[in-house]
Amino acid sequence: MTTSSHNESVARKMLLRFEGVLNKIFGNDLNPFYCLGALGFFFFWVVAVSGAYIYAFYKTGIQLSYPSVEYLTHEQWYLGGIMRSLHRYASDALVVVMVLHLLREFILGRYTGARWFAWFTGVPLIWLIFASGTNGYMMVWDMLAQYSTVAAMEWLDWLPIFGEPMSQSFVTQEVLNDRFFTLISFAHVTIPLIIVFLLWVHIMRISYPVVNPRRGLALGMLLALLVLALIKPALSQGPADMGIEPRNIGIDWFYLFIFPLLDTWSAGHVWALVMGITLLISVLPWLPSRNKQIPIAEVSLKDCSGCRRCVADCPYEAVVMRPRSDGMQFPEEAVVVPDRCVSCGICVGACPSSTPYRSDAEYVSGIEMPSMTMAGLRAAMTGDLARLEGDARVMVFGCDNAADVERLRSAGVAVMSLPCTAMLPPSFIEYALYEHQIDGVFITGCRENDCYHRLGGLWTAQRLNREREPRLRGRVERKHERVRLFWASAADIKELAMELELFRSGLRSLNERDNAAKEILKRE
């Protein structure tokens, strides 16, 4: 049983292969691609802390700014200079991880449906981060600052919002005064504050967001920045002089790439390009995509005891509790917030009433996916198990977003693909093993630390390890050798098939052992 077609795009396959290589180098825990958003936060904090230090020594004014930055760079190189370099390189790294994060969410399709919110709120972050970086380069008031300021003013002048052209009235040697520096220093504090606010909004609809990379990764990144700061300290490029046009200056291509473009294209064309890209990115979640969303979760009040497990497990803050409305003795009831639900089914796997041991043929769980009811899943599984033959009969539970388990189906293997592995209530494992006497249960889903639905892999592992409700029950633990958990992305189908075969040959040995033990008991 499958709910949606697997996303098999070439870009996705290439990304998964590349991440597989990173997993081999760093391990799944430290793979930087699995926490690009958290790395964004990390670099932002490095920028903020180093920036606060530099700001303490920074002097505002046409004659003061450049010497104050020079003092930090040369006279106080051991701290001020390092802080300046950290500030610059962490800002560059922030752009890199932001762009990779955006591309990755796009390639993996984690931006459509109810997930539009994080995507859409990410768009102004791009603008603000670029604005803040460009603004930072102006603060130094060297030749690069002069070039950037004039280019930015000329670009802004194209917009019909300023009465007189800023490039003439504002940025000339005569008129350029301390007000300009007050403005850019004020902006260099205000924009990051707005960024912090927007970052908070960005992750507002995400439960347990990962905002800190693992310590090993954070330390590694910090070390890399420090080494870079020592090998190639950030330097100024000679004081600005409005009487001379700056030549042969080095550009920071991470932030200032737009300005060289202005040398060849007209301001209007560059505006059209950036506004076009912004608009396209903004509307992407609403353009037709291959990710088809099935109907969202529905609560069945008469079957809900208000236990809150669905609230605890939903990765998208899409279930809330409210006072009981039907007069039952429980104080609360669960409610699904429709525009936040991504139809992952994780809440169904969390609900205690999802158990297949319910006696009624058409039982209803406290929370259900209307297109994949628990009674329907039980019936599908029962039918599939009944046709199994051979000496190593296995039930495979998989995920629509990981390796396509349908490809594993055979005479001895029954499969069921779910919107997320964590939709599976652990009681289904027990049910398959004991009520249907099959030889083993094999569970798979997205690679470790890379669950398409963020937390499904973690919740599944914790439930099976009995660290989280609903836990795998006692008698299954004794039979744990008949339950196998193996994570495999769409790029790992070969490894998955091999692991399944290994598991099945292990089951055959177990069966022989059990049969031999039974024979001995019979003889006795």
Q: Which residues of this protein are in contact with ligand SF4, per CB under 6 A?
A: 296-297, 299, 304-310, 314, 316, 318-319, 334, 336, 341-347, 350-353, 366-367
Residue 186, token pair as written in the block = 């004020």
Per CB under 6 A, 377 contacts ligand HEM: no
Q: Does 40 bind ligand HEM (CB under 6 A)?
A: yes
Q: Choosing among ligand HEM, ligand SF4, none, which partner's interface includes residue 307 (Cβ < 5 to 8 Å by kind)? A: ligand SF4
406 to each of 16, 337, 416, how far by Cα in Å? 20, 32, 8
Cβ-closest position to ligand HEM? 122
Q: With beta carbons less than 8 A apart as the criterion, state whether 16 and 489 touch.
A: yes
- Binding pattern for the stretch 412-451 against ligand HEM, x by CB under 6 A and - elsewhere: ----------------------------------------
User: Which runs of consecutive H residues, i.e. helices, occur in 257-351?
Assistant: 258-264, 267-283, 309-313, 346-350
Cβ atoms of residues 250 and 237 within 8 Å? yes
Which partner in ligand SF4, ligand HEM, none is near 209 (CB below 5 to 8 A by kind)? ligand HEM
User: Could you tell which of ligand HEM, ligand SF4, none binds residue 443, using a CB distance below 5 to 8 A set by kind?
Assistant: none
Residues 205-234 that bind ligand HEM (CB under 6 A): 206, 209-211
CA dist., res. 86 & res. 83, Å (int): 5
Q: Which residue of the chain is nearest ligand SF4 when measured via CB?
A: 366
Question: Of residues 6, 84, 88, 202, which one binds ligand HEM by CB under 6 A?
Answer: 202
Could you say which of ligand SF4, ligand HEM, none residue 353 binds, taking C-beta under 5 to 8 angstroms by partner kind? Answer: ligand SF4
Residues facing residue 394 across a β-bridge:
413, 440
Taking CB under 6 A as the rule, does residue 336 contact ligand HEM?
no
* Partner in contact with 341, chosen from ligand SF4, ligand HEM, none, beta carbon below 5 to 8 Å by kind: ligand SF4
The rounded distance, in Å, linking the Cα atoms of 125 and 127 is 5
- Residue 98 touches which of ligand HEM, ligand SF4, none (CB < 5 to 8 A by kind)? ligand HEM
Interatomic CA distance for residues 367 and 310, integer angstroms: 8
CA distances, 165 to each of 153, 158, 162, 221, 275 (Å): 8, 9, 7, 43, 21
Identify whether the C-beta of residue 233 lies closer than 8 Å to the C-beta of residue 76.
Answer: no
Residue 110 or 378 with smaller CB distance to ligand HEM: 110
Q: Which is nearer to ligand HEM, 210 or 493 (CB)?
A: 210
Which among ligand HEM, ligand SF4, none contacts residue 41 (Cβ within 5 to 8 A by kind)? ligand HEM
Cα–Cα distance, 484 to 470 (Å, whole number): 18
Q: How far is the CB of 455 from ligand HEM (least distance, A)?
A: 8
Q: How far is the CB of 469 from ligand HEM (least distance, A)?
A: 22
For ligand SF4, the closer CB: 234 or 304: 304
DSSP string, 487-510: E--GGGHHHHHHHHHHHHHHHHHH
Between CA 163 and CA 170 the distance in angstroms is: 12
CA geometry: angle at 60 spanning 55 and 63, to 5°? 130
Q: Answer with the entry of ligand HEM, ligand SF4, none that 309 interacts with (C-beta below 5 to 8 A by kind).
A: ligand SF4
Nearest 5 degrees, angle CA 242-CA 247-CA 251? Answer: 105
The string of DSSP codes covering 6-70 is ----HHHHHHHHHHHHHHHHH-TTT-GGGGHHHHHHHHHHHHHHHHHHHHHH---STTTHHHHHH
Asked if 203 interacts with ligand HEM (CB under 6 A), we say yes
Distance from CA of residue 163 to its chain's centroid? 44
Least CB distance to ligand SF4 at residue 44 (A): 28
Residues of the shown chain interacting with ligand HEM in the complex, contacts defined by CB under 6 A: 37-38, 40-41, 94, 98, 101-102, 105, 110-111, 115, 118-119, 122-123, 125-126, 129, 199, 202-203, 206, 209-211, 281, 454
